Amino acid sequence: MRLLAAFSALALSAAGAGAQEAGRAGAGVIVGDPTGVTLKVFPRSTLAVDAGIGFSGDAAFYADALWYAWDLLPKPGEGTLGAYLGAGPRIETKRDATFGIRAVGGVSYWLPRHPVELFLEAGPVFVLAPDTGTDVDAGVGVRVYWGGSGP
């Protein structure tokens, strides 16, 4: 119930914001669990889809829908700061592969005058198969975007 309330609050606060250009795409690296490569595209200014392949012992694959709020955090003197919440599937290869749903929250800072995003994210992974349980994903990363110079 708290997660639903948080998603609702984030969606409402993001409704009027337009800090990110729709159609922008980027690629980069994330360090943490899992450590690997990450891609992100913004179909709308307040909605992004990210995907990643990471290696923290085993290979992990994930994809998330992310809802952005560009007016939730204080505005920095330069650049753009946004917060996001999201969720999506996560598969980890092991002797027996696991499948789960990843919930993620994060903060994203866009450098002024450059198409570069610095981000920090974390959240639980609800493992559904072959057994149930929980795990945690967390990381810090950077992405470079093409198609513009920043949000």
Q: What mean pLDDT do residues 88-102 have?
A: 92
Listed ranges 20-24, 123-127, 146-150; the one with the highest mean pLDDT: 123-127
Cis peptide before 130 (omega within 30 of 0): yes
d(CA 83, CA 110): 12
- Please, what are the domains in the chain? 2-146 (2.40.160.20)
- E runs forming strands in 57-115: 58-69, 80-92, 98-110
Tens digit of each residue's pLDDT (9 = 90 or more) over 46-68: 999 999 999 877 899 999 999 99
